Structure 1
Amino acid sequence: MVELAPEIIALLCLAAVAAGFVDAIAGGGGLITVPALLAAGVPPVAAIATNKVQASFGTASATWSYWRAGRIDFGILKWPLAATLVGAGLGAFAVTVVDTRWLMVLLPVLLIAIALYFLFGPKASDEDAHARLTPLAYSAVAGGIGFYDGFFGPGTGSFFALSLVTLMGMGLTRATAHTKALNLMSNVISVVVLAAGGHVLWLLGGCMAVGQVIGGRLGAHSAMRFGPRLIRPLLVVISLGMVAKLLSDPANPLRIMVAGWFG
């Protein structure tokens, strides 16, 4: 049983507010909360599981805000949500039996590609464009991203947002809103699997969830107010921030590989 001082719990709740704000706009709030939980002395598996719990509340809050504002069409998301559910469930199961080290090589490359797309690619606006895929066809993509979220997680919001813009022709704010609904589904399923393994610190997760809800509401309202002016640069910053965080680990396989090239 992990015991934390009240002031540490308070600081973790403040971290959750910041994470909820970032998550509601661009995803990547786990960059704030997971390191904070680890620094507080929470074991790694419990930190990931507890983070999923509190993140689910923040994502639910953001989804509710977007839905009430009329930004989410659940008719379009019917099949993608079902595919995300299945994918996330399979991913959460697979992480218990598959080596994830290869993802630490691939993930930074994918995140850099996303940052470069939003930085130098066609300007993403709030205007919808022609959809390249039907919602049913997009379900295969949603299921794959859901699998990734259940299996590993960082960058899921960026992957959903990019795919909705480029494949479903959504404007950036609308894509961000629909991203929250899809991410909520993958988070909830992941929590169910991790909770079944007894890894969740429920009391701490509940306290941090309050902060996530506050941050999620503030982030969703900010995204709807400022649109691409806020979302686009934050997506770039969060994607590059995740790359820096991943490569800051001396044990990261990609870092070791690159060091070997120049060593």
Structure 2
Amino acid sequence: MMDMLLLGITAFFAGFVDAIVGGGGLLQVPALFSIMPGTVPATLLGTNKFASIWGTAVAARNYMQKVSVRWSMLLPAAMMSFVFAFLGAYLVTHIPPTQLRKVLPFILAAVAIYTFMKKDFGTHDRPLFFGNKEIVLAMLVAAAIGFYDGFFGPGTGSFFMFLFVRIFGYDFLRASVVAKVLNVACNAAALSWFGFSGHVLWILGGVMAVCQIGGSLLGSHLAIRHGTGFVRKMFLLVVVALICKTTYDGFFRV
């Protein structure tokens, strides 16, 4: 019961952070591995996905009540995220992402520096593409980041947000909505495999999912209330945390 309580509290804060800018896995995955060290890693990852998908879906629904999105673009992109996340998850069972671990901190550092230096980055919603061009570009971005999510994973939501701000001209709030929907598709792809292969602790995952939903409701409410400036600051904090985490994993973790 104490383990479940600790994981529930962690899931709440993970849902809170994830609802704003992504990166909830920074809290939730290490907590699962440290509190349940004797459990098969695949089962812990499957349980994490089951809890996370509920929190992300509720955050997406909460955002969409206030922020409009173009479903003609988002649905095809979500389908690409699902398919390529599944392919990435399949490939990682044959090719370990060893080299990607070492490159990722530098990619994230470039994202952080770019966002910090451009003070107006993501503060105004000025879409650059419409119609078929927007749909095709969104599908390409969704396929690339979806594959990355299935193959490796850290920072998926942050990458989605950055690219939809940088390439499509969205503000951080609208990009966050898009990122949530695409993240749900990625999580669903991974969860379909973990669930089928029996790698989900359903009761624990259900408790964590309820806590995730609570954190997601609070986080998305604050993001909507305080707007793009607040989301931008949280984005930078999470990316810096991701840089620290991925640097440790890539260069110092035995």
Normalization by structure 2: what TM-score? 0.92
SS in 1 for 2:146: helix
Q: 1:114 touches 1:158 (CA, 8 Å); kept in 2?
A: no
SS in 2 for 1:128: coil
Offset at residue 247 of structure 1 (A): 2.6
Q: 2:73 touches 2:138 (CA, 8 Å); kept in 1?
A: no
Match of 1:215 in 2: 215
Q: Which amino acid aligns with 2:60?
A: T
Match of 1:158 in 2: 158
Runs of 4+ off more than 6 Å: none
Match of 2:83 in 1: 86
Offset at residue 49 of structure 1 (A): 1.5
Aligned residue pairs, count: 248
Distance 2:252 2:114 in 1: 23
Q: Which amino acid aligns with 1:117?
A: Y
Q: Which runs of 5+ in 1 are unaligned?
A: 1-5, 257-263
SS in 2 for 1:48: helix
Q: 1:88 touches 1:186 (CA, 8 Å); kept in 2?
A: yes
Match of 2:24 in 1: 29
Offset at residue 147 of structure 1 (A): 0.8
Offset at residue 25 of structure 1 (A): 0.8
Greater CA deviation, 68-77 or 161-170? Answer: 68-77
Greater CA deviation, 228-237 or 124-133? Answer: 124-133
Match of 2:46 in 1: 49
Match of 2:111 in 1: 114
Q: 2:78 touches 2:142 (CA, 8 Å); kept in 1?
A: yes
Greater CA deviation, 98-107 or 240-249? Answer: 240-249
Normalization by structure 1: what TM-score? 0.89
- 2:74 is aligned with 1:77: yes
Q: 1:66 touches 1:72 (CA, 8 Å); kept in 2?
A: no
Coordinate RMSD, CA, aligned: 1.6
What is the CA deviation profile of residues 194-248 of structure 1, one whole-angstrom value per residue up to 9, with x for unaligned ones?
A: 2222221111111100011011111111111112222111111111112212233
What is the CA deviation profile of residues 121-176 of structure 1, one whole-angstrom value per residue up to 9, with x for unaligned ones?
A: 25224422242552222211111101111112110011100111111111111111
CA 10–255 in structure 1, closer or farther in 2 if over 3 Å, else same: closer
Distance 1:147 1:122 in 2: 30
Q: 1:25 touches 1:219 (CA, 8 Å); kept in 2?
A: yes
Q: Which runs of 5+ in 2 are unaligned?
A: none
Distance 1:55 1:129 in 2: 30
Match of 1:8 in 2: 3
Offset at residue 44 of structure 1 (A): 2.4
Greater CA deviation, 158-167 or 43-52? Answer: 43-52
Match of 1:199 in 2: 199
Match of 2:138 in 1: 138
Offset at residue 255 of structure 1 (A): 4.6
Match of 2:148 in 1: 148
CA 136–214 in structure 1, closer or farther in 2 if over 3 Å, else same: same
Q: 1:118 touches 1:235 (CA, 8 Å); kept in 2?
A: no
SS in 2 for 1:62: helix
Match for residue 20 of structure 1 among 9, 15, 19: 15
Q: Which amino acid aligns with 1:206?
A: G
Distance 1:244 1:125 in 2: 23
